Amino acid sequence: MIAPGAWLGLLGGGQLGRMFSMAAQSMGYRVMVVDPGAHSPAGDVADACLRADYLDDAALARLARDCAAVTTEFENVPAEALRRLAQSCFVSPAADSVAIAQDRIREKEFLAGVVGVGPYAIIRAQHDLEGNLDASLLPGILKRSRFGYDGKGQVRVASAAQAQAAFRAMGGEPCVLERMLAFEHEISVIVARSDAGECIAYPVAENIHAGGILDLSIIPGRLSARLASQAQEATRAIAERLGYVGVLCVEFFVLEGRLLANEIAPRPHNSGHYSIDACVTSQFEQQARILARLPLGAPSLHCAAVMVNLLGETWAPGEPRWEKLLAHPRAKLHLYGKREARPGRKMGHFTVLGESVEGALEQALRLRGALPHQP
Ligand SMILES: Nc1ncnc2c1ncn2[C@@H]1O[C@H](COP(=O)(O)OP(=O)(O)O)[C@@H](O)[C@H]1O
Ligand SMILES: [Mg+2]
């Protein structure tokens, strides 16, 4: 095991990194962040912050020299940076797993081999959207294969002509066209898998999106025990198949009582933020434990929880007044310290704990209703 006091390296300075840093620090580790920005949510709390690009030679050399282990919090960190670091220190997750999650085409092909995925076609050129396009994929969603997140890099299309126009507008980059699914639920499962192969699954989160961005997560999700355990098993199987070491999230759609995998995130996930307040061990602490080669902690829930994302809209015309939220004895506010609020930007979240999912949801919606500019 890597003893407390050691440095853990982190590529990326976003809110996931901030929550990771705080968890690692509370166990006595020191965190060194690499981020190109002047200020970053993780850089502001880390013990050291290197302002550099992810492939910067000097920054990677410094991480390799000083850190006992390195992780990433940013989906699009170049897999090459992880590969280079892995030559001299323990890196989790591995570059190969990250590379699959960064490429929707590879991700879909991989997921289709382990669990089901919804109907889709790979679009590499304009002619893939002409003559022999499978008409059952329309209406659909055209998604760029690389660099999409929070609904960005995807366009809803109703006809082949619209799909062609969207493909051109996105620069003719490789895409997937997915059939628009009228799913019953969106859910996600987070697993943590250690270097020793120990794997634990968190309870299933039921996720509600607005405008392609996660809005609410409800835990435990309101679905049958059979589907919930199937989703946990499928997520474990995905982690095993990847030989994955780290925290991994798989998003699923539930359609006609069946699970279809949507995408994987090779890191802690927004739908797991509730675990800070509602679980014995948070997803961020698991990431720190895995890096330090400690045994995993229990993922068990203390109680039901509902997490609400706070987006930049809520900051117009100014910082919200948090009094009502903070006055609730079972509401926990987390702000990421971002200096500028933009629409759609994740500024923070709050989690409401309750004896029942219904109770927590009702309280969460009431508290949210008291804030300005909600979806
Ligand atoms: N095939 C689909 N049918 C219906 N809704 C979809 C489909 N694909 C994505 N969505 C909606 O858009 C959201 C974002 O899409 P997703 O593929 O998860 O991309 P990302 O999270 O990387 O932006 C999903 O959570 C879901 O609400
Ligand atoms: Mg998603």
**Cα–ligand 2 centroid distance for 149 (angstroms):** 7
Query: What secondary structure does DSSP assign to 201-227, as a single string?
Result: EPPPEEEEEETTEEEEEEES-SS-HHH
Dist. CA 363–CA 84, nearest whole Å: 47
Biggest CA pair distance of the chain:
62
Q: Summarize pLDDT for 107-131 with one digit per residue, the tens.
A: 999 999 999 999 999 999 999 999 8
Can you tell me which atom of ligand 1 is nearest the CA of 153? 23
- Per-residue model confidence as pLDDT tens digits over 241-267: 999 999 999 999 999 999 999 999 999
Q: From atom 24 of ligand 1, which residue's Cα is the shortest distance away? A: 212
What are the residue boundaries of the structural domains of the chain, listed by start? 7-91, 119-179, 185-369
pLDDT surpassing 70 at residue 374: no
Cβ neighbourhood burial of 176 (10 Å; 0-12, 13-18, 19+): buried
Rounded CA-CA distance 13/37 in Å is 8
Q: Which fold has domain 119-179?
A: Dna Ligase; domain 1 (3.30.1490)
- When the pLDDT of each residue in the chain is averaged and rounded to a whole number, the result is 96
Q: Which residues line ligand 1 (CB under 6 A)?
A: 118, 141, 143, 148-151, 178, 180-181, 186, 209, 212, 251, 262-263
User: Ligand 2: distance of its center to the CA of 224 in Å?
Assistant: 22
Q: Residues 333-346: pLDDT tens digits?
A: 999 999 999 999 99
Instruction: Give the per-residue pLDDT at 373.
Output: 66
* Fold matches, 119-179 and 185-369: no
Determine the pLDDT at residue 132. 86
Poorest-pLDDT segment among 82-96, 98-112, 140-154: 140-154
According to CATH, the superfamily of the domain at 185-369 is ATP-grasp fold, B domain (3.30.470.20)
Q: Which atom of ligand 1 is nearest to the CA of 178?
A: 1
Going by alpha carbons, the residue nearest to atom 12 of ligand 1 is: 212
| Structure confidence at residue 244 (pLDDT) | 97
Separation between Cα atoms, residue 178 and residue 137, nearest integer Å: 6
**With bands split at pLDDT 50, 70 and 90, how would you rate the model's confidence at 149?**
confident
From CA 227, how far away is CA 248, in angstroms rounded?
Answer: 19
Cβ atoms of 193 and 244 closer than 8 Å: yes
**Per-residue pLDDT at 152 exceeds 90:** no
Nearest-angstrom CA–CA distance, 148 and 193: 26
Mean pLDDT of 204-232: 97
Q: How far is the CA of 263 from the centre of ligand 2 (A)?
A: 6
Determine the distance separating the centroid of ligand 2 and the alpha carbon of 345, expressed in angstroms: 15
- Specify the pLDDT at position 150: 81
Distances (CA, A) of 316 to 95, 157, 205, 280, 337: 39, 31, 29, 36, 16
pLDDT at 375: 58
The secondary structure element, H or E, covering residue 26 is helix 15-26
What separation in angstroms does the CA of 253 have from each of 78, 92, 184, 206, 220?
Answer: 28, 27, 8, 10, 16
Confidence label for 148 from pLDDT (cuts 50, 70 and 90): confident
Query: Who contacts 36 (Cβ-Cβ below 8 Å, separation ≥6)?
Result: 51, 52, 53, 54
From 262, 264, 346, mutation site for ligand 1 pocket: most ligand atoms within 8 A of C-beta = 262
CATH architecture of 7-91: 3-Layer(aba) Sandwich (3.40)
Give the tokens for residue 52.
């550099």
Enclosing H/E stretch for 189: strand 185-193
What is the per-residue pLDDT across 23-34, written as a single tens digit (0 to 9) for each?
A: 999 999 999 999
180 CA: nearest ligand 1 atom: 3
Q: What would the mean pLDDT of 156-181 be, rounded to a whole number?
A: 96
In a 10 Å sphere around its CB, with 0-12 CB exposed, 13-18 middle and 19+ buried, how is residue 6 labelled?
A: middle
Q: What is the pLDDT of residues 268-320, one digit of tens each?
A: 999 999 999 999 999 999 999 999 999 999 999 999 999 999 999 999 878 99
